[in-house]
Structure 1
Amino acid sequence: MNGYENNEPTHMTALSPSSANATDYDVLIIGGGINGCGIARDLAGRGWRVMLCEKDDLASHTSSSSTKLIHGGLRYLEYYEFSLVRKALQEREVLLKSAPHIMWPLRFVMPHDPNTRPAWLIRIGLFLYDHLAKREVLPGSRGIDLRTHTAGKPLKPLFKHGFVYSDGWVDDARLVLLTAVDAKNRGADILTRTRCTSAQRDADGWTATLEGPDGIRTVRARAVVNAAGPWAESFLRGVAHSARGEQMATKSLRLVKGSHLVVKRLFEHDHAYIFQSPDKRIIFAIPYQDKFTLIGTTDVELKGTDPGAARISDSEISYLCEQVSRYFEKPVTPADVVWTYSGVRPLLDDASGDPSAVTRDYLLESNTTGAPLLSVWGGKITTFRKLAEDAANEVGTMLGQGPSQRPAWTEDAFLAGGDLSPWIGKGARGARPNDEFERFVAAVQARYTWLNPQLARRLARAYGARVADLLGNAASMADLGAEIAPGLHEQELRFMQTNEWVQTGEDALWRRSKLGLHYTPAQRSAVGLWLDNHKNI
């Protein structure tokens, strides 16, 4: 995500009355992806005055284009990334507990292919995966007989044995959104569709020019956080300037495209698959949106292309289809693909020849030759909370009040809508987040008996405890207003506009939800038209 290059007409989100005339902040954050929003949330929760600007919608690029997993990264063990894997494994359960409506445990099945990795090596890897970090709610790994296990049914008969282990699933775009909502609730100003065209540094602070359709504004900030993702290096080279003229870009990014495709559901059970390919990469096949299967990902070097324009290639589609067809009894072909998406991973360039081998760990680079500047390099969605905590510690230290004066707080905190206890009571220690979510769904259905069960579940899944804010005083389906598309009513669209920075049909249907996958082109157009006709209402 970035906050300084704008390629299309956009609309700037209105400031709240309390901040409409504010020009001075402690921290200006560039980029509305998961890292930028996570840092804004953490800093705002420590009492810092924070502004975040994003040139597009929240999670428009990399942060909505992941494989949508909360995972330690089993394959990173082969590259001896033990520190990264441990850190990510520690974060899995922290995140699962913080927002059980958008994250939940998922079991993965790995069919054993003796032509790739030997069984003894997989057992060692899974043993480490189980024990590198403490587990409270996720079960450990074990071997399975695919001839009798339900996960073996869609596979070719030659796969007789396999392994099963635990990780987590996340709605990545809503994770970004709920993090931004929490940041706003704690006092941060979040500006979408607003780009930073210039950031001038002097000894006392930064002067930034922000451009949106409502005009140009100037803000002052004591520190800047560069969380522009694939554009982080470009921000330092082209937008950030210093009165002293020093070069602020000291690192180079390696941009690696990861593409995914979606096909109609390939299997009926609730497990996901992790397949080993002959090139030593791994491919996931994951239950997706009830009626579909998500397949990914690739690792393709991106050179000479705007990261925002990254799209899947025909060769990537063929590759993914070929790899999963090595395992499934029924082949997957390009003709089966109903949707694709691509994201660009901003990885630190370590001169590795293999894009898959480039570290997914993050680096926070502090620059104090003038007013404080913190640049975020790399990272993965699973470790965003820890990255944000480390970044907030560092920014506070540079501003003269480190973690001893303004301590970390997010480890035990809920994300927006994640605290279900007012609905279901306090959960017991070790309670599985997905079990608590099912209790929450039942509570929603009991309170709003007039909601059909399918809609009640979808709203509970998307909004968590915020569902009461969405439904308000509604006492019947008629109170939700016109049904603009199947299951999507005016009241929900207004809530998205007012509380979730939604302005376009794409915002609503592909980032705040994946309803676009279920709708016809005419239905998607109807949603976009309604939003166009109800702007600023």
Structure 2
Amino acid sequence: MENNATREQRLSALRQRTTTPVLIVGGGINGISTFRELALQGIPVILVEKGDWCQAASGALSRMIHGGLRYLETGEFTLVKESVTERDRLLKNASHYVFPLRTTVPIDNLGGGLINATRRFLRLSDKPARRGALLIKTGLSLYDIYTRQYGSMPKHQVRGETATRDRWPGFAPWVKYSASYYDAWISAPERLGYELIEDAECACSDALALNYMELVSADGESVTLQDVLSGERFTLQPHVLVNAGGAWIDQLNQRLAPREKSAKLIGGTKGSHLILDHPELLQMLDGEMVYFENQEGRVCIMFPWFGKVLLGSTDIRVDDPDSVVCEEEEKAYILESLRFVFPDVVVPESAILYTFCGVRPLPASDAKVNGQISRNHSLVLLPPDAAHAYSLLCLVGGKWTTFRQFGAEAADRVLRLIGEKRRLSSDDLPIGGGRDFPKPSEQPHWLNQLAQQYALPLARVTQLVKRYGSRALPILQGIQQQGEQPLQHHQAYSALELRYLIEHEQVRQLEDLLVRRTSLAICGELTPLLIEEISHLLATTLGWSELQRVQHLQRSCANLARWHGLKDLDPTVFQEEIHHVSHQ
């Protein structure tokens, strides 16, 4: 399917398909990765998602691409090695969005935690305990070994008290040592997810991805899909159905085989994060992440985020993944954790620009401490039986960093089920805007060349390349040919740029654009007037009536207030503005 295909063209393609070798349900990062892997092998796979791409947990990650230092304690050496390997691959294959991140761990003692770490390693204890400098150095030495094999990250360092205090004068008095090492962060995870879909559809013209398409029922041989936007229904007979529902895996299995009492696969935990506008804290971090244990031993993080600070997270078991929001108690908990390591930093309520949370699709577990539940992934195959004529493959667990490896494993299992073989490895395959993206040392020259080629200011070219990598080129070409005007209420975006995203990236709702295709929401840049302006642009591009536009505006403002803490956009506060636009 062509990437600039309209919604109607995609629906038309689905109408013509009554059977499919593979149907993937769930458009989070693991479902998307599996879709890409299969499309790369020429399989005409179909991917559906009931909401937008990377809308749930895959858009609520800590924005880290990391090896999982703490997994060493539970003996998950294979997971750590895999994570470090995949981290380094992403640094190469998605260098437009994934960057090295120097990370510091504050430490309160020299030899503490050794006994408890040994007990956790032997599965004799779930109890959290403070880790000392020797234990952390041992873990980081292993980290270095894995990194040296697959990448070129600098080695770790351990500082004594004087050196630690010189670099981090704001640390709490309990901090006696510190260790620094490198992991990575991702600037636009939702965009990377979409680019994987685009790459997949380019690799196989018969591969088809549809957001806002829900699986609503199954009769044993066929499944029924429903377009969430129009209500139209479609019937498909899959040979293999991949359940990539994340926290909703068990719910989907019950829908597929309601008479079958299958074992519970998911025991999800909720993770909440805050985005702070706090110049003092930002200056103290000075480009680094602080990875620390709070007062109860829960691992927390904070690092710079586009001139703000990202702070998290919580780890709370939940039964209903549809209702999770960052609660006031979680905000208080996260801020209390911050004060534990930076006691003099005061964070007023007004500094909290944005909140987000998601449910980690962890495997069902009896662990007493949530942090001890494995972050590894696994495949659960439910072969054809009386309840379903197709093979049902469930993707359980996993973490963002290892999505490529998990997708490859899932695809290999599917290929065996349908009698096909792998043709191509994605190990070293660039993703989206990472294709033909130059090394950091070569970027200034490349950017200057682009500025001259398209006769545009260097600052604007640099801005677009930072947002889209090499995928900025068609936007630059459009600007050269048509010119552009900045938005009235956000000078850093233009109508041409946003219209390109709407027309080429399956934008169907206002939030798709505000939250996932751009960073406007998470960077705290939304205002009522800006949302109104963008809603007009979206309505014109998608052919909405004025009533539809106002309804979208109301719903989006309500969702942004509820799910992301943007109280100024609550419809009750925004009512006057909505009334005004609805009567123009």
Q: TM-score range by the shorter chain?
A: 0.7 to 0.9
**What does residue range 18-97 of structure 1 map to in structure 2 within 5 Å?**
21-97=16-92
Q: CA deviation at 1:38?
A: 0.6
Q: Secondary structure of 1:487's partner? A: strand
Q: Amino acid of the residue matched to residue 500 of structure 1?
A: E
Q: Is the 8 A contact 2:108 2:174 kept in 1?
A: no
**What does residue range 271-350 of structure 1 map to in structure 2 within 5 Å?**
271-289=288-306, 291-303=307-319, 305=320, 307-328=321-342, 330-333=344-347, 335=349, 336-350=351-365
Residues in 1 aligned to 2:325 and 2:415: alpha-carbon distance in whole angstroms = 38
Q: Amino acid of the residue matched to residue 98 of structure 2?
A: M
Q: CA deviation at 1:505?
A: 2.9
C-alpha change, 1:209 and 1:450, in structure 2 (3 Å) is: closer
Q: Is the 8 A contact 1:46 1:407 kept in 2?
A: yes
Q: CA deviation at 1:17?
A: 6.8
Residues in 2 aligned to 1:354 and 1:14: alpha-carbon distance in whole angstroms = 49
In proportion to residue count, which structure has more helix?
A: 2
Q: CA deviation at 1:155?
A: 3.2
Q: CA deviation at 1:535?
A: 0.8
**What does residue range 106-125 of structure 1 map to in structure 2 within 5 Å?**
106-114=101-109, 116-125=130-139
Work out which of the residue numbers 503, 508, 517 in structure 1 matches 2:513. Answer: 508
> Unmatched 5+ residue regions in structure 2?
1-5, 113-129, 545-584
C-alpha change, 1:536 and 1:196, in structure 2 (3 Å) is: farther
Q: CA deviation at 1:99?
A: 1.1
Query: Does the alignment pair 1:367 with 2:373?
Result: no
C-alpha change, 1:504 and 1:487, in structure 2 (3 Å) is: farther
Residues in 1 aligned to 2:8 and 2:30: alpha-carbon distance in whole angstroms = 20
**What does residue range 64-213 of structure 1 map to in structure 2 within 5 Å?**
64-114=59-109, 116-133=130-147, 134-144=149-159, 151-156=167-172, 159=175, 161-170=177-186, 171-187=188-204, 188-202=207-221, 206-213=222-229
> Unmatched 5+ residue regions in structure 1?
1-10, 425-432
Residues in 1 aligned to 2:453 and 2:344: alpha-carbon distance in whole angstroms = 44
Residues in 1 aligned to 2:220 and 2:392: alpha-carbon distance in whole angstroms = 9
Q: Which of the two has higher C-alpha Rg?
A: 2
Q: Is the 8 A contact 2:249 2:265 kept in 1?
A: no
Residues in 2 aligned to 1:519 and 1:301: alpha-carbon distance in whole angstroms = 31
Q: Secondary structure of 1:254's partner? A: coil
Residues in 2 aligned to 1:50 and 1:495: alpha-carbon distance in whole angstroms = 26
Residues in 2 aligned to 1:332 and 1:387: alpha-carbon distance in whole angstroms = 41
Q: Alpha-carbon deviations, 1:421-463, whole Å to 9, x = none?
A: 5xx4xxxxxxxx554556654554454452351x433321221
Residues in 2 aligned to 1:443 and 1:158: alpha-carbon distance in whole angstroms = 52
Q: Is the 8 A contact 2:302 2:311 kept in 1?
A: yes
Q: Is the 8 A contact 2:96 2:469 kept in 1?
A: yes
Residues in 2 aligned to 1:299 and 1:155: alpha-carbon distance in whole angstroms = 24
Q: CA deviation at 1:474?
A: 2.4
Residues in 2 aligned to 1:440 and 1:74: alpha-carbon distance in whole angstroms = 36
C-alpha change, 1:122 and 1:441, in structure 2 (3 Å) is: farther
User: What residue in structure 1 maps to residue 417 of structure 2?
Assistant: 398
Residues in 2 aligned to 1:160 and 1:330: alpha-carbon distance in whole angstroms = 17
Residues in 1 aligned to 2:95 and 2:532: alpha-carbon distance in whole angstroms = 32
Q: Secondary structure of 1:79's partner? A: coil
Q: Amino acid of the residue matched to residue 253 of structure 1?
A: I
User: What residue in structure 2 maps to residue 527 of structure 1?
Assistant: 534
Residues in 2 aligned to 1:113 and 1:254: alpha-carbon distance in whole angstroms = 33
Q: Secondary structure of 2:341's partner? A: coil
TM-score computed with the length of structure 1 as normaliser: 0.87
Q: CA deviation at 1:382?
A: 0.6
Q: Is the 8 A contact 1:321 1:332 kept in 2?
A: no
Q: CA deviation at 1:408?
A: 4.5
User: What residue in structure 2 maps to residue 409 of structure 1?
Assistant: 425
User: What residue in structure 1 maps to residue 263 of structure 2?
Assistant: 250
User: What residue in structure 2 maps to residue 468 of structure 1?
Assistant: 473
User: What residue in structure 2 maps to residue 483 of structure 1?
Assistant: 487
Residues in 2 aligned to 1:440 and 1:338: alpha-carbon distance in whole angstroms = 35
C-alpha change, 1:440 and 1:117, in structure 2 (3 Å) is: farther
Q: CA deviation at 1:65?
A: 0.3
Q: Is the 8 A contact 2:455 2:480 kept in 1?
A: no
Work out which of the residue numbers 234, 237, 244 in structure 2 matches 1:220. Answer: 237
Work out which of the residue numbers 426, 451, 457 in structure 2 matches 1:451. Answer: 457
Work out which of the residue numbers 282, 297, 301 in structure 2 matches 1:267. Answer: 282
Residues in 2 aligned to 1:434 and 1:275: alpha-carbon distance in whole angstroms = 30
Q: Is the 8 A contact 1:198 1:241 kept in 2?
A: no
